[in-house]
Chains A and B, each alone.
Chain A
């Protein structure tokens, strides 16, 4: 079956612009996670959802970052007023119900 997909795969934006990153989880997976991965580092937790409910957003760096999953399937991570320090690989993962998480290909964000 289809794995986790993310779009766009690459995003280049200018400082100050807003960006929206999309995650399409594996069909039927209850849990959806957002991570940020710096080069050479492990993924760092941002936020996660069970169904449409955001369970934990403690990893979001500041209030410019937000996420939603309105229908319990596709999720969008939005970064407002982007800054150069936001440049990173943003990864989404989904899970049937916690524990085993399957990652998407990521969105490489570059803020100029």
Chain B
């Protein structure tokens, strides 16, 4: 099983600042089958990034993903008020599919 470790657990930032979230895998993620999701309180997760770096439909270009192998990054270039949420990475290249523990981006 591929274990995904997200860091930091909590990121305290102000609107307009840059957010950098990390997702590290215990083994190489096959063919960059790595996705990022955003979840707000009381809502279902929303797909942001798939294939490590491709934005999902309707996702603003301030969200970007990068990385390969075992190290992946989600960057939010300038935080908007609606971006404060919990973010999860997920690998779907090998079974079982696994999620990281999440990073909470909170308002400083």
Instruction: Tell whether A pairs with B.
Output: no
Q: A-contacting residues of B (Cβ < 8 Å)?
A: none
